[in-house]
Amino acid sequence: MATQIFVNLPIKDLNRSVEFFTKLGYTFNPKFTDEKATCMIISDTIYIMLLTEPFFQTFTKKEIVDAHKAVECSICLSADSKEGVDEMVNKAQAAGATIPNPATDYGFMYQHSFEDLDGHHWEFVWMDPKGAPEQ
């Protein structure tokens, strides 16, 4: 069985977050959805658990980071093309995300990012299958 990843993110408003990520084309597993949380499906092995802040707090004694003021992590997902990167970032911006930086094109790699409604940093990247140039 392939390793699966479940990224847990604290969010303020579950319905608002589901609406936002639905506009980006993501779906949710109803078996793991209630008024406190939902399981957003990225791929067959990647899932984002969106947890309301009070529910998220039950898993840790640490303070929840305000992602509008500090970075707790950066979620980076691959895209099939440069256009795919831009498409996701454009969808996110149209759904209410903020764009902290312009896209960066390294030739062999292209990246662009957005911050979701709760301030979480999402990066989309395309890499040339030929790889980085040799040094």
28 forms beta bridges with 40
Distance of CA 108 to the CA centre of its chain: 23
23 is a domain residue:
yes
Query: Angle at Cα 7 formed by Cα 26 and Cα 22, nearest 5°?
Result: 15
pLDDT in tens, 23-80: 999 999 999 999 999 999 999 999 999 999 999 999 999 999 999 999 889 999 999 9
pTM, whole model, 2 decimals? 0.90
- Alpha-carbon dihedral sign for residues 121, 8, 76, 89: negative
Backbone dihedral angles phi then psi of residue 85, each to the nearest 5 degrees:
-60, -50
Count of the separate structural domains present in the chain: 1
What CATH number corresponds to the domain at position 61?
A: 3.10.180.10
Q: Report yes or no: 33 and 74 within 8 Å, Cβ to Cβ.
A: no
Residue ranges making up the domain that contains 33: 5-127
The pLDDT-based confidence of 132 (bands split at 50, 70, 90) is low
112 is a domain residue:
yes
51 is a domain residue:
yes
**pLDDT attached to residue 89:** 98
**pLDDT attached to residue 23:** 98
133 is a domain residue:
no
Inform me whether the pLDDT recorded for 113 exceeds 90.
Answer: yes
Compute the distance between CA of residue 90 and CA of residue 109 in angstroms, rounded to an integer: 19
**pLDDT attached to residue 133:** 67
Inform me whether the pLDDT recorded for 120 exceeds 70.
Answer: yes
77 is a domain residue:
yes
DSSP at 123: E
Q: In sequence order, what are the residues at sequence separation of 6 or more whose Cβ sits closer than 8 angstroms to the Cβ of residue 125?
A: 76, 77, 78, 79, 85, 109, 110, 111
40 is a domain residue:
yes
135 is a domain residue:
no
Task: Give the mean pLDDT of 98-127.
Answer: 96
Amino acid at 20: F
119 is a domain residue:
yes
**pLDDT attached to residue 101:** 95
